[in-house]
Amino acid sequence: MTAIELKYKTSRLNVLVSGEEFQLQNQAAEPPNRYLVIEDLVRVERLLSAGKATEGFVVFLTNNPRYWSRGLEQGCDISAAFRIHEGRRLAGTLSWAAHTATGTMGKHSAPLTLRGEYKARWSDYSRVRGHGPGVFRYLAVEVRPPNKE
């Protein structure tokens, strides 16, 4: 069985493409959404570890460049531990910054521990010409089963 977690978060985009109208909402909340992507990695690792899946993937599609771009330097961002920009190494226990507001974290305040190590590699998905938020990219992470020792 294959375990797959999918996420799709958008920036506002109203566009007509080949006669079809698209009206995407602005789903800004990047800090909690980054947390949810890492939480998906942890969930798929657990499924593999429990033998409930033999392979796993986490796929995140967005037209918001704040996910794939480096942005703020580490330590300046409440969700720095959960950043998923291009080339980011994801491993170990990841936690919110100490000064993060409870309202930002909501029910997702617990630290997340990854058993494996992953590198964020973004790929182009599609492009709507002439529109700023018209570039769509995806992050696809293959989740590996834990090492048997």
Q: Tokens 């109208």 map to which residue?
A: 21
Q: Where are the alpha helices (DSSP H) in 7-78?
A: 30-49, 65-68
pLDDT of residue 48: 96
pLDDT of residue 106: 86
pLDDT of residue 67: 94
CA atoms within 13 A on the CB side of 124: 5
Q: Does the reported pTM lie above 0.85?
A: yes
pLDDT of residue 79: 87
Residue ranges of domains in the chain: 2-143
**Which of helix, strand or coil describes residue 31?**
helix
pLDDT of residue 36: 96
Backbone CA torsion sign across 4, 109, 33, 114? negative
Residues 58-105 pLDDT 10s: 999 999 999 999 875 544 688 899 999 999 999 999 999 998 888 888
